[in-house]
Structure formats: C-alpha cells, structure tokens
Amino acid sequence: MKLFTVGPVACYPEVLEAMGMQMMSHRSKEYIDLHFETVEMLQAFIETGSPVFLFSSTGTGFMEAAVRNCVREKMVVCVNGSFGERFAEVARANGRDVVAVVTELGEPVQPGMLEAALEAEPEVEAVAITHNETSVGLINDLPALTEVCRRHGKLVFVDAVSSMGGTTLKVDEWGIDICFSSSQKCFGVPPGLGVGSVSRRALDVSAEMPGKGWYFDLKVWERSHAARKGTPMTSCIPQVAGLNAALKMIEEHGGRQWYFDLYEGRNAAIREGVEELGLGIFPLEGYESPTVSCVSAPEGMKGPDVYNAMRGRGYELAQGYGALKEATFRIGNMGWMPGEYIDGMLGALGDVM
Amino acid sequence: MKLFTVGPVACYPEVLEAMGMQMMSHRSKEYIDLHFETVEMLQAFIETGSPVFLFSSTGTGFMEAAVRNCVREKMVVCVNGSFGERFAEVARANGRDVVAVVTELGEPVQPGMLEAALEAEPEVEAVAITHNETSVGLINDLPALTEVCRRHGKLVFVDAVSSMGGTTLKVDEWGIDICFSSSQKCFGVPPGLGVGSVSRRALDVSAEMPGKGWYFDLKVWERSHAARKGTPMTSCIPQVAGLNAALKMIEEHGGRQWYFDLYEGRNAAIREGVEELGLGIFPLEGYESPTVSCVSAPEGMKGPDVYNAMRGRGYELAQGYGALKEATFRIGNMGWMPGEYIDGMLGALGDVM
C-alpha cells in the first residue's frame, strides 16, 4: 500500500533500519548520548533554547500535560476542527473551564477573534492553538495569533502535531510556551513518541500546580533533563532512534529549509493535480495546509467511497474526519514519499472518479 | 553488549523484524486485525475475559490510569521497594491519600499485614500490589494477597511489569481489576507500550469518576475497544507488531508454560552460578523473583563497580536501585538470551570479583 496518510505516514528507510535495532538500557551511556543528540537537533529545528521532552505517548499526551501543569481554572481553546475540539475535550475532562473560539469549518482563527475573547475573559490563564488542523487541512497564521497572546500575557500552547518538521516554527521568537508534536507525522517516524518544548515560564507555573499527577508532570521531566538522565520513566527508545535518524537525514540534505521546500513541492503537485481533476480544496484560499490536503469529494461520490476505491488501487489516503467525513477525503504529503508516487496516485484518483 | 538488564531487555529476532516494518494507518483493516489478534492472545495469556488495552505509554501510565479512574480519596499501596514507592507517589501526585503497607527491604508483603491495614482503614477503595518488585528482585505471593482484597471487597491493581509473561497470572481467578505491564520486560519487545486488563467493576467505577482526564480515561478506551476501532488515539504500532510476534513465537514453542519453564531454567542457572561464586541473593528465601536476581555485591566492591567492570567485558547487567544501589547489583533473565550467554556472564563475573 502506498501511503498518503495523515499519520502514521510511511517512514524513511534510514528510520526503519533504526527501528529494528537491538535494545539497550535507557540508563546506559549509549542511550543518554542518543537522547541528548536528538533533543539538541530538535531544539535547533524548532528554534528554541527551552528543554525538549520526549514523552512515551502520542501528541495528545502533551495536551494533557499542558492543561494539568499550567492551567488552574480556565483557558481559551481555538477550534478550527476535530483536533481543536480534542484540546477542549482534554481540558474539560481535567475539570478546567474552556472558552472556545470556534471558526466556521475551513476558516482560520482571525487575530481579532482571539483578541475579543481575551478582552471578554481577561482571567483566562492560557491559550491553545492548533497550528495545522489536520481534520480540515488548514494552517492558521500562528505568529499573528501568538502576538495577541503575548500582548495579553497569556501562556501559549501550540498543537504542532501535523506542522512540526513540515513548516517553519520559531518557538522562542513567537513566544510559544509549550509546542508539541508526534513522531508519526512530518518527521516520518512510527508513532509512539510525543515531542515538545516547554518554556521556563510554563515550568514555573507547573512548580506551583496541585494534583497534576506524575506521568506528565513537567517538573519531573525537567529534573531528568537537567540531570542529563534522559527520561524519568523508560524511554520509547526505537522511536527516539528513528527520529534521530530522520533529523540526521534532513541535516545531510542541507537542513530544515530543504525539507520544507520538499514538502511544499509535494503539496503543490497534489493540489494542482486534484484541481486539474476538477476537485476543490476545502479550506479558505491562502490557508491551505502544507502537509495535508482536504479535498471535496467528487459529484455523486462520498469521501469514504473515494478512500475505498483508492485502497483497491493500492493507495491509502485518509478519510474525511469528524463533520467532514462524508463530504471530503484527505491526501497527506508527509514522511517517505517517492516522487513518482504522486503522479501514480493522481492518475488512480482520476480513474476512480 | 550482551544484555542481562531488567528492561529494556534484548529483543527476539522475530520482534526486531516486526519493529522495522513499514507503517500502516492505525485505522486501516490491517492494523485493526493486528490489534485485536494481539489483544486476544494477551487475554488468553493472562487468563482474563476482560478487555486488554494497549496504551502508548510505559507501565507507569497504567498506575496513573488506575488511580485517576478508580480512586476518589484513599487507597492502600503495598511497598516492597522502589516501584511500590512509585505507585504511592503517583497516587499522591494525583491528590489521593495513601495508606502504605511497607515491608522491610527484601521481605514480602504478608497477607496478615494487608488484612490489618484493611481492618484499620475500612474506607479505602482499592489496593495496589507490586507482583514482582524489580528493584529488590522479590516476588510477592499474589493469590494470597488478592484473596484478602476480595474478602474486603476492594478493587485490586497489580503492577505486573516484570512478571507478566514470565510467570503465571490468573487475572480472573485471582480477582484482579487492573493488571498491567510493559512491552520491554518479559515479552522481550522494545519499550513504548503499556498493556493491561481492566475489569467490568473498574470500568463501572471509572464511569462515575470526575476529573479523570482524557489520555488515560478507561471509558474512552473501552468505547474504542467495544466498537472494534483499536485505540482512541494513534497506536504505538511497531511495538504492537513486536508483541504480536513475541506472543506467536511463544505459541509456536508450545505456549506460556514453555516460556515460564524457560525463564525458570535461566533464573535457576544464574542463581546457582552466583551462589557458587559465594555471593548472596538479596531477598528472603522463597520469595526470589523468577525474572531478576538481586545480588549482594562482593566484599570490597560496590554494586556500581561490578556493573562497570562487567560492561568492560561486554555484559550489561543492571545497577542496584534506590536504597540498594551501592549494596547490590541485578541480573535480569528476561527477553532474548541465548543459553551460552549465561555461562559467559557468570565466568566474567568470577573474573571481575
């Protein structure tokens, strides 16, 4: 099956080789070296001096961590689709009040909407933003939104699950307190690893937070990081090795800008191809995601029909998600993807329509 | 490096091959088949009809889940060493009161101690027991302890991290409500996957529990399980495939009793070997762990000296843990371990003393 999924995505050969390595102790010198080399490459990649933690969890584990460590009562959650909804659900499941800033489906959060919410609810402690909303294939204007948060002095949590690695993230310059992602998206590594940076300010808030639990206690993670012990509980070693291999592969090709250009090229080829087939890209023009295209289903077909027909031809796309399940299907361009796959996929799509 | 670690342990060749597989979508038919085949093999292995969940977390994630889903105020935690202490720490970090039943180091929890605690504190809701305390190389008499819990009508949580797969666990017969482990111990799979069974009774308590969060919400997991959707968030696919391969390998050799006998044989060879070298096994006789031997350091040497000297000869043992770090070192017998490694390791140990 040739994967155009939105995660897990197909993995690079170097990554799969690393995944199959024999184990080592997570307290051995070999692992500690691997761990901190990976952390330092990630810090450089997302432009931060803050510690980066490698959770044995999916990206959602970082949502839980952000809420439990850094919010006592109330937070704003920007919602463009299913993963913004998930952040709100995680906050509510932890007993926090949520002020939801909800857009029409396919539209970005405008800075003015966030500004209005923060003026109406000045006591909120933090703002959660989905950088790239995977469910609708939309990217928000993150620096414009973080600027509003900074001006109001709020903590900023960014769900960068389907953007980190695939497009620019300037964590320190944009003032992001917790910026997290997962291994199985733009880095082209199997799932199981949550990665995220945590600012000094967020750690200081966590230090005073009651009842935050242990598994995702950011201060527990900070202590292990500061003592150069790696992870406080057993590390998800194969995925750390896989991520290390992916980051080195990117470095060898010239660094992150080369990788962003590669993704942009794939994404443009897919968008042009589907538009030539007469299909529309769902989100508002100018806000199309650089990593996943959400495509309106052709006349007379539902999204799941397209998905199933494409599977029959050897291509695994992604189904529409949530409210858009029937009306759309999605085509990811993350991970390992030989150039000729794209032409083949577009040809098959033309055939099944 | 030849591993005699206590986890991560060396992995079987079949498992490493599975770990290196190309990814698939966690919502594809291929993954769903893999998921439920693995779940059903695990259910049979630990003798339960309850659902088994496959968390993207370490085993400690299940401690957090047990506490947050099933305890409102107060629980008993049996403490034989560092991992019992961790369970108590996780409970306290989640704001729960802990009644600790603490043994002398190297001694088991006696049923009478637990009985006395439950009589003194009849309002506790649950009891946590470490089946095999990895830090001191001790196994508790689990059926005797669960019998006490059942008689008092308490929920029973069992940390089976270093016992599941390596020795008999009769989850339903012994009345265990949550019985959990990790991939990187007896099953010989890399770390990143937490596995555990959850009883109807535990799920019913979870249904009424406020503020339990989302990532480890057992009712969220139950819904995905019941709808045959696999995991609610992205699954840690490679480790699931690795565990599937390990369980099939055990099945092909004749099933779990073959595997338990294999471990008992390795463990006996190691214990006899270290005793011939004049070294003592730390825990009380009759309670020695079948998966990890905690050995008193030789005269004039500290545990870490033995660990470092053995590394110099190509053998990775485990250091003593917690209060026993200086006085002991540990030799695991889990995972992939060719028979001749044991003789070689014992020979090297004789040389470094």
Beta strands in chain B (DSSP E): 2-3, 52-56, 74-79, 97-102, 126-130, 132-133, 138-139, 155-159, 178-182, 193-198, 292-296, 315-316, 318-319, 328-332
Whether the per-residue pLDDT at A30 is higher than 90: the answer is yes
* Cβ contact A215–B19 (<8 Å): no
Name chain B contacts of A212, Cβ cutoff 8 Å.
93
**3-state SS of chain A?**
CEECCCCCCCCCHHHHHHHCCCCCCCCCHHHHHHHHHHHHHHHHHCCCCCCEEEEECCCHHHHHHHHHHHCCCEEEEEECCHHHHHHHHHHHHCCCEEEEEECCCCCCCCHHHHHHHHHHCCCCCEEEEECEECCCCEECCHHHHHHHHHHHCCEEEEECCCCECCECCCCCCCCCCEEEEECCCCCCCCCCEEEEEECHHHHHHHHCCCCCCCCCCHHHHHHHHHCCCCCCCCCCHHHHHHHHHHHHHHHHCCCHHHHHHHHHHHHHHHHHHHHHCCCCECCCCCCECCCEEEEECCCCCCHHHHHHHHHHCCEECEECCHHHCCCEEEEECCCCCCHHHHHHHHHHHHHHC
* Cβ contact B192–A58 (<8 Å): no
* Cβ contact A58–B93 (<8 Å): no
Q: What is the ipTM of this complex?
A: 0.97
Q: pLDDT-based confidence at A67, cuts 50/70/90?
A: very high
| Amino acid A322: pLDDT | 87
**Which of B24, B213, B215 shows the shortest C-beta gap to A57?**
B215
Size of interface A-B (CB pairs under 8 A): 178
Least Cα separation, residue B220 to chain A (angstroms): 11
Name chain A contacts of B68, Cβ cutoff 8 Å.
213
| Amino acid B322: pLDDT | 87
What average pLDDT does the structure give for chain A? 97
| Amino acid A238: pLDDT | 98
Name chain B contacts of A190, Cβ cutoff 8 Å.
23, 236-238
Mean pLDDT of A299-303: 95
What average pLDDT does the structure give for chain B? 97
* Cβ contact A236–B25 (<8 Å): no
* Cβ contact B8–A25 (<8 Å): yes
**Which of B1, B20, B191 shows the shortest C-beta gap to A235?**
B191
Nearest chain B residue to A28 by CA: give it. B316
| Amino acid B283: pLDDT | 96
**Which DSSP category does B245 fall into?**
H
* Cβ contact B26–A191 (<8 Å): yes
Mean pLDDT of A317-340: 95
**For B185-226, how does the pLDDT look when each residue is reduced to its tens digit (9 = 90+)?**
999 999 999 999 999 999 999 999 999 999 999 999 999 999
* Cβ contact B25–A10 (<8 Å): no
**Claim: this prediction has a pTM higher than 0.80:** yes
* Cβ contact B237–A60 (<8 Å): no
**Which of B8, B23, B60 shows the shortest C-beta gap to A26?**
B8
Whether the per-residue pLDDT at A148 is higher than 90: the answer is yes
Name chain A contacts of B23, Cβ cutoff 8 Å.
3, 8-11, 184, 190-191, 335
**Which of B190, B235, B319 shows the shortest C-beta gap to A191?**
B235
Least Cα separation, residue A106 to chain B (angstroms): 23
* Cβ contact B214–A58 (<8 Å): no
* Cβ contact A214–B90 (<8 Å): yes
Residues of chain B with pLDDT under 70: none
